[in-house]
Structure 1
Amino acid sequence: MTTYVYGITPADRKLPDDIEGVGDPPRPVRAVRSGDLVALCSDAPAELRPRRSDLLAHQHVVIEAAKDGAVLPLRFGGISPDDETVAAILEKRHDLYLEGLEKVAGRDEFNVKVYHDEEAARQVVLADEPDLMSRHAADRDVDGDRQDTAAFGELVDRAVSERGKSDVALVEQVLAPHAVAVAHGPEAAGRLADLSFLVERERRHEFEEALRGLHQEHAHLRAQATGPLPPYSFVETD
């Protein structure tokens, strides 16, 4: 039976005796120790898939482990050949993992996905770029010139796309001072950015207040925040 790994914690971390992890039926979670570290593990199911129940089970183990201190969470799907291999990796990367635990101690991740409200963004671009506004006024005086209208629309769309770059920089500029680290996630169609912020728990309200201010002052932006989360984006476990 292969070993499924949820995360890494200091060796003195205690979990509830009956905590269960992934699988159907759910596998009991155990600690694999090496020196000052333990890896939270269970037997891996024969066929592991990202089913909702297993994703939630993985998250539950990580959150329970984090209640009493720092945890280095592994993303869903971490499998090792056996417990002995896990222990050997803990020994080999002992100092790296201890440094990682120190980095995330007392801190949580907030993920912020940034989008444009397209119509509001168009209005902002028209207001901020007088040449486009003049072109817009002239275009409205041209009766029935559909080709010119389409060309103008494409011009505005390009300006909105270019605006996205500065808007991402703006979001970072507003939120980063309230975090200790920022990580950039993958690009995706229709999304300006996927940003993760590592935030000290005692400064959480500052971060959330800055996010509210961003929404109030820049109505053309949609910044969807999720958190607090385990600090997946700020962990080096490989």
Structure 2
Amino acid sequence: MAVYIYSITGKQHPLHVDDLHGVGEPPAALRTVTAGPLSAVVSDAPEDLRPKRRDIIAHQEVQQRLMADGTVLPMRFGLLATDDEDVRLALEQNAEDYTDKLRVLEGCVEYHLKASQDEDALLRQILLESDVARELNESIRAGTAAPEAPVRLGELVAQEVQARQEALAAGVVEALRPFARQLESSQPTGSDFLSTSFLVNGEQEERFLTAELSVAHQLGDDFTFRLNGPLPPYSFV
């Protein structure tokens, strides 16, 4: 039977998971596989593994429990191995890499920040601050613009939006960077201009949260900040 892998830890981790259950229906019992300085928390994998709500919750509960007692390398949902021996071999072959990552993640959690700006407010700002955009918009509204004016305005606004959002994202990241050990940015989606994960040491956590609130307050009501965390540091494994 395939083996489902939840986390990798140092073998000194207390691994208090006796009262937890893993994925599957009925929920699988958890066990550990140890090789050298490392341990992996695993269970039997169900044959029809899917990202069902109960299984995602079970996966997350294992991570949270392990994090409460020490440093972990949290695996993404759905990671499988052929059997325990395969897991043991992976721990042996990657011992140096896993040990280094555990050292980097020691005492840290992940916070993921997404941010967006009200689109109408952004457009008003562009029309207020860009003479060219404002003049084009006024001539279009008055019916005196050239036929190509709407296309020119659309292109200009798109360029302004991109430039302003890139500058905003860089500014937010730079304000929070001093309080994070590492960061990982991903491509924002929808109306977001920022999607970044921060690896934050416990000693800096309060400062990081205070700085995030301060930046959101400074930018004002036209901006929406969505901070998710503390999370297992998936983005930094």
Same fold flag (TM > 0.5) = yes
For residues 208 and 131 of structure 2, what CA distance do their matches in structure 1 show?
34
Alignment of 1:43-192 (within 5 A): 43-136=44-137, 142=142, 150-151=150-151, 154=154, 155-192=156-193
Residue in 2 that maps onto 1:5: 5
For residues 45 and 186 of structure 1, what CA distance do their matches in structure 2 show?
33
Alignment of 1:200-219 (within 5 A): 200-219=201-220
Unaligned runs of 5+ in 2: none
For residues 38 and 145 of structure 1, what CA distance do their matches in structure 2 show?
70
Provide the aligned length of Structure 1 versus Structure 2: 234
**Normalised TM-score (structure 2):** 0.89
The answer to whether structure 1 residue 230 and structure 2 residue 232 are counterparts is yes
The percentage of aligned residue pairs carrying the same residue is 34
Q: Deviations over 1:163-201 (max 9, x none)?
A: 222122122112112111110224534332321000111
SS in 2 for 1:75: coil
Residues 1:135 and 1:227: Cα distance change in structure 2 (over 3 Å):
same
Residues 1:93 and 1:117: Cα distance change in structure 2 (over 3 Å):
same
SS in 1 for 2:55: helix
Report the Cα offset of residue 118 of structure 1.
0.6
The question of whether the paired residues in 2 share the 8 Å contact of 1:122 and 1:157 is answered with no
For residues 103 and 222 of structure 1, what CA distance do their matches in structure 2 show?
31
Q: Deviations over 1:77-133 (max 9, x none)?
A: 000000011001101111111111110111110011232311121233234334434
Look up the equivalent residue of 1:228 and give its one-letter code.
P
Look up the equivalent residue of 1:196 and give its one-letter code.
S
Unaligned runs of 5+ in 1: none
Q: Deviations over 1:15-66 (max 9, x none)?
A: 1322111111111111100011100000000111001111110010011011
Task: Supply the RMSD in Å over aligned alpha carbons.
Answer: 2.3
Report the Cα offset of residue 146 of structure 1.
11
* 155-164 vs 17-26, greater mean Cα deviation: 155-164
**Normalised TM-score (structure 1):** 0.88
Residues 1:135 and 1:143: Cα distance change in structure 2 (over 3 Å):
closer
Report the Cα offset of residue 221 of structure 1.
3.3
